[in-house]
Structure 1
Amino acid sequence: MNAFPSRPEEAEREEMARLLPVPAERDLPPGRHLHHKGILMQQIRHDQQNSPADTADRRGRRFLRPVILVPVAAMAAAGILITSLAMGGHGPSAPSADRSVSVQAGNAGGARALLDRIATVASRQDVTPVREDQFVYVLSEVAGTEPTEQRADGGPAELGAVHERRIWLSQDPGPKGSDSGMIREDGTQLGMAAPSPAGGDGAGGVPAGIDRPTYQWLASLPTDPDALLKKLYADTGSQGTGGRDQAVFDKIGELLRESVMPPGTAAALYNAVAKIPGVVEVPDAVDAAGRHGVGIAREDTSLSQRSEWIFDKTSLSYLGQRSYLTQDTKQGKAGTLTSISAVLARAVVDKAGQEAGGASG
């Protein structure tokens, strides 16, 4: 058989092509552009940084404050990935270029109204309970503050590169349940084993509770905001230098991070936050994926640092979080970012390493 077409065949094809209508161009939705760009940028960072020396160096770095990932108000039904977080109409993902923000005035009255709206949205979600033999999987983009060579005793630091973080959190309530979880971050895979908390039985691990909020534990919390806040103050105590109010605000952020919870619990938590003194609304906030939203924030005055949760202005779904300096300090000038994150996907899966489509690695 001749591998090359004859002249008549070529002419016939050209004529058919001329007569056929031009196919309509199809563009990707904005959210998919963001998704594919994120994958490309992650591969570029991986190729640039994946030398043995660099990997060893990164393992030794520590954030000044842990990057916390707060879940969306619109929770995922069990086993279903939330992809609606990559909202259309937001800017492209290029957060690593922005290392400072404008310190805006907060509005306490606005925070109460906004949290009431967020709680209403959360209360209306249809959430399938998560079984104790399952895992909560979250894919995020995160960055935290990394020490510089000149840093000493709280001195200058700079925001590290934004990178992907995947985490699988076991829902097993027992102390050893946490050991079966897993984290993949910045080219490194980590287990979740942890020593016993103070006063533990020495068996190792962390049981379900305020420091490891499983779905079932969250479901056991009071749904009355006053009763819930009273329990949180009692369980949290005074931690750090920011006082009890800041400690509870941060603890609620930890309870919300990388989790799926019953709608009633989520609504109660947001209504409880509205009762904490010093909580304010910030009119414009940007997450690690470059998405603009509105912030719910509180300042740790002892550190001159504001912690901020970011919600979409229309849907009130959770986008991410950031923290930054509100005044000039040894760490940097006012507005310097100290951490930033964006939740890109969330699912409930049957084993660690499994992603939303069922594949595991």
Structure 2
Amino acid sequence: MNDLTEIKQLWQDQPPGSREDLAGARTALLAAAARSTAAPVSPPRRYGLRIGVATGLAAALTAGVIVAQVALAGSPASDGITGLVAAPPANAQQLLTAAAQVAAAEPDLRPGPGQYIHTELRVMRYRAVGSAGTHLSGTEERWIPAAGAKQWLMREHQATAAPVPGVPMPTQQVATQGTEDSLYESSCATEAVTELQMSRWPADVAFLREQVRTEAAKYTAIPERLREWDAVGTLLRSAVSRPGLSAALYRVAAEIPGITLVPETVDAAGRAGIGVAIEHDGTRSELIFDHRTFGYLGEREVAIEDRSSTMPVPPISRKEYGDLKRQMVAKGMDAAEVVRELEPLRKKRTVTLFTPRGAVISSSAVVKVEVVDALPPLSTKVSRMTIPC
């Protein structure tokens, strides 16, 4: 995956796994160093904007006038859609066929010149810190322009931490509060955001099948049997404003070998659903649909067995070392003790991270899709990036 959330991670220090519970100033030290020493359990699926391929979903809190809105699955406007099967689907293929019928009956959003597609997601992911872990939840939003020359915006509302059955909560703080905006521009002469490219695609199964194969060919780092499944998920995240396109993608997904029905699941917004999934290496990747209307709710990746993994942790920089040393000495710690505490952080090391069965590795739930006239006012914390071609 190559979305903006992952691009941001290239400049973002990684929090470490703790080896032992710390106290006093030592706890404060590792809390301060957490941003550069902790490591996530595994690279989670990201839902931010994708450049050049497809992107995640997101949105809410918009400026401008709402001129259209998709009726999301489970809402009153979605109930009673004709064409639903009378009995629950017996298998994954039946569920995807029913979901395609529902999506095909919904109108696409077509923003006019100067307008934006605004989407909102509830998101969740698992963060491991050594043998401890927590579920981090928040909201992601984004504003995609109808014309590719404009800026586009991703907004992240961070984050609450919740316990995960089977592991203790981390002793250090891993959730950050507040709102962070990322304002993007592309240096490409042509449209680089996949949603803009997809706005012109026909809702044709044969055409979408070829697009899925083209996208899957890029995923050389994952097993071949998973590539088309991941490609469908990538394109679905970019087609959220075009239910007709999603309908064709569901029919393509129904052809993928190895998919199974998940009779009961839940999305990141807490909505009960029914899912289609594929399993690999102790995890299950799900597309989630409303269990009554079969409208799309979101996706998630969940651990289906206990897993331990060993990961490298980068050393802290010389500047970080100096800053932390001064802070600890200023708090009254003995200088020699400070050096003993900090020295291990200056070296390359590894941590063993634990993911319990049932942990939600990553999850997103679509809660709003609409057309708006303008970007909202920016928050006080803004990153500005130009995306290379």
Shorter-chain TM-score range: 0.5 to 0.7
Q: Name 2:271's counterpart in structure 1.
A: 291
Could you say if the C-alpha distance between residues 207 and 257 of structure 1 is closer, same or farther in structure 2, counting changes exceeding 3 Å? farther
Q: In the alignment, what sits opposite 2:293?
A: 315
1:260-271 equivalences in 2 (<5 Å): 260-271=240-251
Shift of 1:324: 0.9
Does 1:342 pair with 2:314?
Answer: no
Match of 1:162 among 137, 140, 156: 137
What residue in structure 2 maps to residue 32 of structure 1? none
SS of residue in 2 equivalent to 1:193? strand
Read off the aligned partner of 2:101 and give its amino acid letter.
T
Distance 2:146 2:134 in 1: 32
Q: CA deviation at 1:136?
A: 1.8
Contact 1:85 1:345 in 2 (8 A): no
CA RMSD of aligned residues (A): 3.6
Which position in structure 2 is the counterpart of 1:193?
Answer: 184
Q: Shift of the alpha carbon at 1:354?
A: 7.3
Counterpart-to-counterpart distance in 1, 2:304 and 2:35: 28
Tell me how far apart the structure 2 counterparts of residues 221 and 159 of structure 1 sit (CA, whole Å). Answer: 40
Picking from 187, 197, 204, the partner of 1:204 is: 187
Alignment check: 8 A CA contact 1:228 1:269 kept: yes
Q: Is the 8 A contact 1:322 1:340 kept in 2?
A: yes
How far residue 82 of structure 1 moved from its aligned partner, in angstroms, is 4.5
Q: Which residue of 2 aligns with 1:180?
A: 152
Which residue of 1 is the match for residue 316 of structure 2? none
TM-score using structure 1 length: 0.60
Cα drift, residue 86 of structure 1? 5.9
Q: Distance in 2 between matches of 1:158 and 1:258?
A: 31
Aligned length: 257
- Shift of residue 305 of structure 1? 1.7
Aligned mates of 1:121, 1:61 — CA distance in 2: 41
Superposition TM-score, scaled by structure 2 size:
0.56
User: For residue 130 of structure 1, what is the aligned residue in structure 2?
Assistant: 111
Partner of 1:65: 44
Q: Any conservation in 2 of the 1:70–1:321 contact (CA below 8 Å)?
A: no
- CA offsets, 1:65-109, max 9 Å, x none? 1343569xxxxxx83344655659xxxxxxxxxxxxxxxxxxx97
Say if 2:86 is the partner of 1:117. no
Where in structure 2 are the equivalents of 1:74-93 lying within 5 Å?
Answer: 79-82=67-70, 85=73, 87=75
- Highest CA radius of gyration, 1 or 2? 1
Aligned AA for 2:187?
G
> In 2 relative to 1, CA 274–315 (structure 1 residues): closer, same or farther, beyond 3 Å?
same
Work out whether residues 124 and 360 of structure 2, in 8 Å CA contact, stay in contact via their aligned partners in 1.
no
Alpha-carbon distance in 2 for matches of 1:246, 1:271: 17
Letter in 2 for 1:247: R
Residues 231 and 340 of structure 1, relative CA distance in 2, 3 Å threshold? closer
* Matches of 2:202 and 2:71, distance apart in 1: 30
Q: Distance in 2 between matches of 1:165 and 1:268?
A: 26
1:284: how far off?
0.5
1:252, 1:132 → 2: CA distance? 29
CA distance in structure 2 between the partners assigned to 1:236 and 1:117 by the alignment: 25
Q: Quote how far apart the aligned CAs of 1:333 are.
A: 3.2
Q: Does 1:352 align with 2:375?
A: yes
Amino acid across the alignment from 2:138: H
1-structure distance, mates of 2:92, 2:245? 19
182 and 278 in structure 1: CA distance in 2 versus 1, 3 angstrom threshold: same
Distance in 2, matches of 1:248 and 1:157, equals: 34
> Per-residue deviation at 1:162?
1.6
* Equivalent pair of 1:67/1:144 in contact (CA under 8 Å): no
Letter of the aligned partner of 1:66 in structure 2? R
- 1:171 aligned residue: 146
Identity %: 25
The structural deviation recorded for 1:112 is 0.9
Determine if contact 1:219/1:261 at 8 Å carries over to the other structure: no
Distance 1:205 1:245, change over 3 A: farther
Distance (Å, rounded) in 2 between the aligned partners of 1:142 and 1:261: 18
Quote the offset at 1:128 in angstroms: 4.0
